[in-house]
Structure 1
Amino acid sequence: MTYQDVFTVFWEQVKESIKEGTFAKLTMAKTIGKPELKNIFIRPIYADEDFKVLLKYSFRPREVEDIEEELSLDESLTIVKSHLKTHFLSVLLFSTVKDVTFKVNKKGLGSITETYPTFKNVTQA
């Protein structure tokens, strides 16, 4: 299975956690090399009419100010996909039910692992 196929399975779990109201945070980590972009964080903004996320770019030099954007889930997916395997090798889903980690290895294969939840409550952005 290609890493894209495995990522699709992972993203379905992200959507399911949002649907169930258990989505706490998504983090892109394990940078490739030493880029200025250190992490990308996605936090939920639950609203009556539509679900949005606050996407935050966190930079390594402290002098560079973090950038935040309010986006739809589909818009955030596009950004996550564009940074996967170019800047980051892993994406972590934190929900109140479980933590799910998606990783791409050096051979370009994807994997998913699940662990106990880090968050007990959902905190909106």
Structure 2
Amino acid sequence: MSYEPVFALFWESVKQSIQNGTYAKLTLAKTIGDTELKNIYIRPVLLDEGGYTLSVIARYKTEEVESFHSLDQAYAVLFPYMNNPFLTALLFTTENDITFKLNKKRVGTILEQAPTFKSASDAIIEMKEKGII
């Protein structure tokens, strides 16, 4: 069974947390073995003309590469990294921490825990103030 439906459900939580103004941070982590790519961090960035985009920072052993994507584009960019090389995606919100995990059989599950962050990301707070979300 594919883990894509479970990851799509997880991504809905990402979208909802941005729309609700509770988004703090999103990280892809826990690689399979020793890989060049270590982490991917996703954070919202305000645009000068209004609105926002997502900054996707891929952290390698020797460098960081940043790209910018819409919310829907970011899903298409990030999904291929699940299972190759990442097994975990961690969404931190002010309401709870949501973890998407792949087990050894590559079955996806979603876990919720108490929140790590007490406040949303600075960009989310500014987006709320400007009425963007």
- Specify every segment of 5 or more residues in structure 2 that has no aligned partner in the other structure, as ranges: 124-133
Native 8 Å contact 2:23 2:121 kept in 1 = no
Native 8 Å contact 1:56 1:69 kept in 2 = yes
If the length of structure 2 is used for normalisation, what is the TM-score? Answer: 0.84
Native 8 Å contact 2:24 2:120 kept in 1 = yes
Aligned counterparts of 1:4 and 1:85: Cα–Cα separation in 2: 11
Relative to structure 1, is the Cα distance of residues 46 and 122 closer, same or farther in structure 2, using a 3 angstrom cutoff? farther
Q: How does 1:70-109 map to 2 (within 5 A)?
A: 70-109=68-107
Residue 46 of structure 1: how far off its partner (Å): 4.3
- Matched AA of 1:17: S
Q: Which residue does the alignment assign to 2:6?
A: 6
Native 8 Å contact 1:24 1:121 kept in 2 = yes
Q: Which residue does the alignment assign to 1:39?
A: 39
Query: Across the two proteins, how many residue pairs are aligned to each other?
Result: 122
- Specify every segment of 5 or more residues in structure 1 that has no aligned partner in the other structure, as ranges: none
Native 8 Å contact 1:51 1:73 kept in 2 = no
- Matched AA of 1:106: K
The CA deviation string for residues 5-64 of structure 1, in whole angstroms up to 9 with x for no partner, is: 11111111111101101111110011011111000000122457323111111112xxx2
Aligned counterparts of 1:123 and 1:34: Cα–Cα separation in 2: 30
The CA deviation string for residues 83-108 of structure 1, in whole angstroms up to 9 with x for no partner, is: 11111011000111110000011112
Are 1:116 and 2:103 matched, yes or no?
Answer: no
Aligned-pair identity (%): 46
Q: Which residue does the alignment assign to 2:50?
A: 49
Relative to structure 1, is the Cα distance of residues 89 and 97 closer, same or farther in structure 2, using a 3 angstrom cutoff? same
3-state SS of 2:5 partner = helix
Relative to structure 1, is the Cα distance of residues 116 and 46 closer, same or farther in structure 2, using a 3 angstrom cutoff? farther
If the length of structure 1 is used for normalisation, what is the TM-score? Answer: 0.88
- Matched AA of 2:45: I
- Matched AA of 1:100: I
- Matched AA of 1:55: V
- Matched AA of 1:69: S
Residue 73 of structure 1: how far off its partner (Å): 1.3
- Matched AA of 1:22: T
